[in-house]
Amino acid sequence: MTESQVKEAVVIVDILHAEIHNSGSFIEKLTDYAHAFARNERFDAMRAEKIIRDVYIATRGQSMNQTREGLAAAKDNLPVIAKTRALDCAKSIGALIEAAPTQPVYKAYDRAAVTLSAEFGITQVAAKEMMQEAFKQHHGKELYAHGKALEEKFHTPVREAARQAQNAEQQPARSQAQSYS
């Protein structure tokens, strides 16, 4: 392989590694990236997939499936404290939405899931499930709906004010441009 092919394969491996940690799956993305990798090369998609798998093992020290299985095993063997931490992370979503700079629920939810997944070596999808369950059990309501309500109260007004300010800045510039025509 050429140096540029190796660099491209390493980038693809990084994307696949992130996908495994996010969803616990990699087959669809591996297939897509293998086809893209092979598109302008002198090998087919099957060979590209083999190259990507080999580069993954060389750079990560285990196969993609071993990474996936390790994350699944960690989920199956969570310590008792995990439920408490899941609730803490779920509660942190509200604080992230409310505090300046405010953020939409999807970003706060993702940030909390990344924190929890890293702490226990599980996928982000599993972390989100844990947070949802812990929040519903403790508060009797859906975490995402609660986050959306907070977003409407705290983030949406800030976002709308920023948009109006941006539009106000652009109006004089548009008026000047039209007067020159």
Kindly state the average pLDDT of the residues 160-167.
90
Q: Is 147 exposed, middle or buried (0-12, 13-18, 19+ CB in 10 A)?
A: buried
Say which amino acid occupies 60: R
Q: What percent of the chain has pLDDT over 90?
A: 86
pLDDT of residue 174: 62
Residues 24-42: tens digit of each pLDDT: 999 999 999 999 999 989 9
| 22-25 contacts, C-beta under 8 A, 24 or more apart | 22/123, 22/124, 22/125, 23/123, 23/124, 23/125, 24/68, 24/71, 24/72, 24/123, 24/125, 24/126, 25/68
**Letter string b/e over residues 98-110, b meaning 16 or more CB atoms within 10 A of that residue's CB:** eeeebbbbeebbb
- What is the separation, in whole angstroms, between the first and last Cα of the chain? 57
Torsion of CA 27, 33, 38, 39, to 10 degrees: 130
Average pLDDT along the chain = 94
Each residue's pLDDT tens digit, 48-72: 999 999 999 999 999 999 999 999 9
Within a 10 A sphere around the Cβ of 117, how many other Cβ atoms?
Answer: 23
